[in-house]
Structure 1
Amino acid sequence: MRIISRYLAREIYSATLLVFAALLMLFAFFDLIHELGDLGKGDYRLVKIFGYVLLSLPGHVYELFPIATLIGSLFALAQLTAHSELTVMRVSGLSVQRIALSLAKAGLLFMALTFVFGEFIAPLSGRAAQELRLKATSSVVAQEFRSGLWVKDAGSFVNVEEVLPDTSMKGVKIYEFDPDFSLRAISYAKRGEHVSENRWRLTDVAQTRFESGRTVVSKLPEAYWHSVLTPDILNVLLVVPEQMSAWNLYFYVQHLSENKQKTTRYEIALWSKLAYPFAVLVMIMLALPFAYYQGRSGGVSAKIFAGIMLGLGFHLLNRLFAHLGLLNDWSPMFSAIFPTLVFFCAAMTMMWWVERR
């Protein structure tokens, strides 16, 4: 049994690595084509474009783990079925459950790698890629803290409490300095909306100006603000919950709770981060009965196509339930875990059906 487990693991590892290489080359090519549209913008040259593409790869590795594992496992098992090796294993007395246990042991490595990439490598490399692109294409310098997003804008420092999905801003504080780095004015706006290029409309504005030994306070229902900030830059600066590590998500959820803010989106992302490594194991479990069932109904190309469809179905179901949970205030744990449970139940049901045959 140990020899068979090692043999199955070797076949699945080699097939999955092959699939990963193909998919990563494809995604890197798409990223390269997309970034070439900004070639020559500021200091964004070919070297930095290639750097951005390379730094984006770990994020793709994390996203592709379930799909690549499913396709690689289907490919490996289809090859074993085509050469009757899987049939010989079953005739020799190995049940579907024993073979599945061997596949599960092989999948533990993929689970660990998924966790490592999602928790440590992808968030850091993704942030580094965005910072590289931002610095090359714009003079804006920014950093995100617990107090919100801080941006250097010419002679001002801007603090934004929250960037909404439509790239409008809530709680905008603008600290203006003169050429001698003396504080000249502090402005606070409850909301900021992008009007045109480098122009924002601020509403409910309270401004404090420091003028030759006196302080002038004024309140305006509306004001216009010229800034190098644009919605595209905010999209780059804004770290979406799905790209944050589980550790950072946990503490950010605590921070939002303490400030009486809505946490649903971040809780769904947190539970998704915890469930995602197990999805890799579920994909391997799903590959075994599916490959066996399709043994006489199609070749390797059919298995690969089926794997792509199943992987896309899993990805779309994950996204769908994340959005439905956010819209309907479902339990974050249910919204994040339900798609994985559906595919796990499907895998168990198909294994039971194959065993009965």
Structure 2
Amino acid sequence: MRILNRYVAREITVAVSFTLIAFLALFAFFDLIGELSDVGNGNYQLQHAFVYVLLALPGYVYDLMPIAALIGTIYALAQFASRSEFTIMRASGLSTGMAGRMLARVGIVMVVITFLFGEFIAPRTSEMAERWKLQAEGASISQEFRTGLWTKDVIRENGLTGESIGTRFLNVKDVSPQGQLRGVRLFEFDREFRMTSMVTAAYADYQGSNVWRLSEVTETGFSVNVTDISAAVSTKTAPTRDLISEITPNILSVLFADPDRMSALGLATYTRHLTENNQTTERYEIAFWKKLIYPFAVLVMMALALPFAYLHFRAGGVSLKIFIGIMIGVSFQLLNSLFSHVGLLNTWPPLTTALVPSMIFLLIAISALWWVQKH
């Protein structure tokens, strides 16, 4: 049985790897064609486009792994059926449960690989790709916003700890690809939303530990308990000033990132930040649960592939089975995306929104296995 397990695992792994490489080559080609229109913007040249496309590939590995697992497994099992190997395995005592466990062993390895790409590799390479392109074009991250970037922060008694004593609104004209903030404006309010100060700075650099160093600072303070107007407003300047804030470069980068390309840790951090600032979190909560559940779709897809091993070669060629597998994979991706939007519009529970597509296809896989065994 150990030899059989290794044989099946090897055949499926080779088929899935080949399928994944083929998909990556196809998507890379289309991405490169799409980038050609941007070649010539600033210093963005063809070699920059090649690097940008290569850095985007880990994200496609994460997205395409379930479909590659489905098609690759169907191909391997269809080959077993066409050569009557699967019939011999069943005659030797291989039950459906044992076949399922063989696929699950291979699938768990793919689940781990998918999780690693989605949590650690793809988020970093996607961010590197965007920064690489912005640097080559000489553009800034917030260039597309007419009034710059806006975000909200909580002012606490002891910097990051203690009771909330007010609210701060941060406006940045643009953010450099290196993460430097330019044209900074801070509007600070007390608990009753009375403005207490307005701070402007030419730029701000992150020092770590939630500390931003503002440069060329002008601060205008407003006293709410003074009746004399001339004394109620005060202005002072300073070459530098440190600002303690819950806003970090990672949080700022979220504002420009696709939630589906973020890590689960990044999504959890940003969701907590939004919750503390009384902002809506549904979109990021759905993305968080999808990030945790999506790798297990590999197991669901492989379960869907198992019934194809019971179909004799005369019931349909290998190419037909692969075509059916492609249609199933595309249907899963469409349903997964559809539920994300529908769940967001109807305020469904994020966990339910992320889990239902996989559960639907798992039920289809169980039903298909029951049918092929009965017939």
Q: TM-score range by the shorter chain?
A: 0.7 to 0.9
Over aligned residue pairs, what C-alpha RMSD do you find?
A: 3.1
**Which moves more between the two structures, 81-90 or 285-294?**
285-294
Where does residue 12 of structure 2 map in the other structure? 12
Whole-Å Cα distance in 1 between the matches of residues 151 and 20 of structure 2? 35
Contact 2:81 2:312 in 1 (8 A): no
**Which deviations, in whole Å up to 9, do the C-alpha atoms of 1:304-323 show, x marking residues without a partner?**
21111000000000011111
Q: Secondary structure at the match of 2:358?
A: helix
Contact 1:289 1:350 in 2 (8 A): yes
Aligned-residue sequence identity (percent) comes to: 48
Whole-Å Cα distance in 1 between the matches of residues 41 and 63 of structure 2? 29
User: Shift of residue 354 of structure 1?
Assistant: 2.3
**Which moves more between the two structures, 41-50 or 250-259?**
250-259
Whole-Å Cα distance in 1 between the matches of residues 113 and 297 of structure 2? 13
Whole-Å Cα distance in 2 between the matches of residues 70 and 356 of structure 1? 23
Whole-Å Cα distance in 2 between the matches of residues 285 and 126 of structure 1? 31
Whole-Å Cα distance in 1 between the matches of residues 312 and 121 of structure 2? 37
Q: Secondary structure at the match of 1:296?
A: helix
User: Shift of residue 149 of structure 1?
Assistant: 8.3
Whole-Å Cα distance in 1 between the matches of residues 337 and 259 of structure 2? 13
User: Shift of residue 120 of structure 1?
Assistant: 0.1
Where does residue 100 of structure 1 map in the other structure? 100
Where does residue 282 of structure 1 map in the other structure? 300
Contact 1:177 1:184 in 2 (8 A): no
Q: 1:156 to 1:120 in 2, by over 3 A?
A: closer
Q: 1:272 to 1:156 in 2, by over 3 A?
A: closer
User: Shift of residue 139 of structure 1?
Assistant: 3.3
Q: TM-score of the superposition, structure 1-length normalised?
A: 0.77
What does 1:32-43 correspond to in 2, within 5 Å?
32-43=32-43
2:183 partner letter: F
Gaps of 5+ in 2: 143-148, 154-169, 188-197, 204-214, 221-232, 236-251
What does 1:299-314 correspond to in 2, within 5 Å?
299-314=317-332
Contact 1:291 1:303 in 2 (8 A): no
Where does residue 183 of structure 2 map in the other structure? 157
User: Shift of residue 257 of structure 1?
Assistant: 1.5
1:157 partner letter: G
Whole-Å Cα distance in 1 between the matches of residues 369 and 306 of structure 2? 8
User: Shift of residue 138 of structure 1?
Assistant: 2.9
User: Shift of residue 145 of structure 1?
Assistant: 9.1
What does 1:1-357 correspond to in 2, within 5 Å?
1-140=1-140, 150=172, 151-152=174-175, 156-158=182-184, 175=200, 177=202, 182-183=216-217, 238-293=256-311, 295-357=313-375
User: Shift of residue 2 of structure 1?
Assistant: 1.7
Q: 1:155 to 1:237 in 2, by over 3 A?
A: closer
1:131 partner letter: R
1:75 partner letter: Y
User: Shift of residue 352 of structure 1?
Assistant: 2.0
Q: 1:35 to 1:109 in 2, by over 3 A?
A: same
1:335 partner letter: T
Whole-Å Cα distance in 2 between the matches of residues 14 and 146 of structure 1? 50
User: Shift of residue 152 of structure 1?
Assistant: 4.0
**Which deviations, in whole Å up to 9, do the C-alpha atoms of 1:113-138 show, x marking residues without a partner?**
00000000000000000111111113
**Which moves more between the two structures, 143-152 or 280-289?**
143-152
Whole-Å Cα distance in 2 between the matches of residues 32 and 174 of structure 1? 44
Whole-Å Cα distance in 2 between the matches of residues 138 and 237 of structure 1? 20
**Which moves more between the two structures, 117-126 or 284-293?**
284-293
Q: Secondary structure at the match of 1:239?
A: coil
Contact 1:290 1:350 in 2 (8 A): no
Whole-Å Cα distance in 2 between the matches of residues 241 and 44 of structure 1? 26
Where does residue 223 of structure 1 map in the other structure? none
Q: Secondary structure at the match of 1:157?
A: strand
Whole-Å Cα distance in 2 between the matches of residues 111 and 4 of structure 1? 22
Contact 1:156 1:175 in 2 (8 A): no
User: Shift of residue 182 of structure 1?
Assistant: 3.8
Q: Secondary structure at the match of 2:183?
A: strand
1:121 partner letter: I
Larger radius of gyration: 2
User: Shift of residue 291 of structure 1?
Assistant: 4.1
Contact 2:184 2:202 in 1 (8 A): no
Gaps of 5+ in 1: 162-172, 187-212, 216-233
Q: Secondary structure at the match of 2:316?
A: coil
Contact 2:71 2:325 in 1 (8 A): yes
Q: TM-score of the superposition, structure 2-length normalised?
A: 0.73
**Which deviations, in whole Å up to 9, do the C-alpha atoms of 1:190-246 show, x marking residues without a partner?**
xxxxxxxxxxxxxxxxxxxxxxx986xxxxxxxxxxxxxxxxxx9997112111101
Whole-Å Cα distance in 2 between the matches of residues 105 and 241 of structure 1? 30
Whole-Å Cα distance in 1 between the matches of residues 31 and 186 of structure 2? 29
**Which deviations, in whole Å up to 9, do the C-alpha atoms of 1:82-126 show, x marking residues without a partner?**
101111111111111111110111111100000000000000000
Q: Secondary structure at the match of 2:94?
A: coil
Where does residue 207 of structure 2 map in the other structure? none
User: Shift of residue 348 of structure 1?
Assistant: 1.3
User: Shift of residue 26 of structure 1?
Assistant: 0.4
Q: Secondary structure at the match of 1:139?
A: coil
Whole-Å Cα distance in 2 between the matches of residues 343 and 264 of structure 1? 24
Whole-Å Cα distance in 1 between the matches of residues 126 and 2 of structure 2? 39
User: Shift of residue 157 of structure 1?
Assistant: 2.1
Contact 2:58 2:125 in 1 (8 A): yes
